Amino acid sequence: MGSDCLFCRIVAGEIPATIVRETDTTLAFRDIGPKAPVHVLIIPKEHYADVAMLGQGDPALAGELLATAAAVAEDEGLLGDGFRLMFNTGTYGGQEVFHVHAHLLGGAPLGPMLARDVA
């Protein structure tokens, strides 16, 4: 994917980001527009468009992503009070950047799971 993808460019060091954790296969950095006191994005360094592609294409890497997310949650002091970990996916999910990323949100009560009831 490379130069067309914002998060591939962050992996490549071409766009600056506030990195909080890095492994051989994953990267965690602060969201540029935080929606909570802690808002970190966790991505695989390898490009997958969304969590469905990642989960089906490389389940082991998906597990490494979760391990990095858990380590960041611990580093940020979120394990006691809890947090939310979510993957916006596709049009209905409101995904804007098509390089899979988990949003780690915490540091305050986060309110209901959805802003409005769509059931």
Catalytic center residues: 101
Burial class (CB in 10 A: 0-12, 13-18, 19+), 6: middle
- Minimum distance of ligand 5GP from residue 83's CB (angstroms): 15
Alpha carbons 21 and 71: distance in angstroms, whole number: 8
- Minimum distance of Zn ion from residue 16's CB (angstroms): 16
Please, are residues 43 and 101 in contact by the beta-carbon 8 Å criterion?
A: yes
Applying CB under 6 A, what is the total number of residues that bind ligand 5GP? 13
Name the one range near Zn ion by CB under 5 A: 14-22, 29-37, 39-47, 104-112.
Answer: 39-47
User: Residues 75 to 104: which contact ligand 5GP by CB under 6 A?
Assistant: 88, 94-97
